[in-house]
Amino acid sequence: MRIEITEQGAPPAEQVYGQLRGLITSGQLAADERLPSVRRLASDLGIAAGTVAKAYRHLESDGLVVSRTGAGTRVSRSATPVSQNVARAARALASAARREGLSAEDAVRILRAVW
């Protein structure tokens, strides 16, 4: 699992939420897979634990993860990934954008423009 926080992006909690949501909906994080603890992920990213906790709460309210005291936070069994066709197209877009030297934000802007 790879999550990055950018200086010029959205607030860190939104970045963590968005990236984890993407990993779950793309199937890169499977049902019942355990997420890092709030403290561990916060330490790895160099951000406050409350920021990661906020992202986890948002994921939980969306039904994508389940948090249990002592058992940690896991991907919900009801979280369904997107179809393989959509995931494949997204990977192709990301790959083409990187080859062209575009940022993720540029690729999202292009996608929104053609939507």
What's the pLDDT score for residue 86? 86
DSSP collapsed to 3 states, the chain: CCCCCCCCCCCHHHHHHHHHHHHHHCCCCCCCCECCCHHHHHHHHCCCHHHHHHHHHHHHHCCCEEEECCCEEEECCCCCCCCHHHHHHHHHHHHHHHHCCCCHHHHHHHHHHHC
What's the pLDDT score for residue 75? 95
What's the pLDDT score for residue 73? 95
> What is the domain partition of the chain in residue ranges?
6-79, 82-115
Per CATH, which fold does 6-79 belong to?
Arc Repressor Mutant, subunit A (1.10.10)
What's the pLDDT score for residue 74? 96
Low-confidence ranges of the chain (pLDDT < 70): none
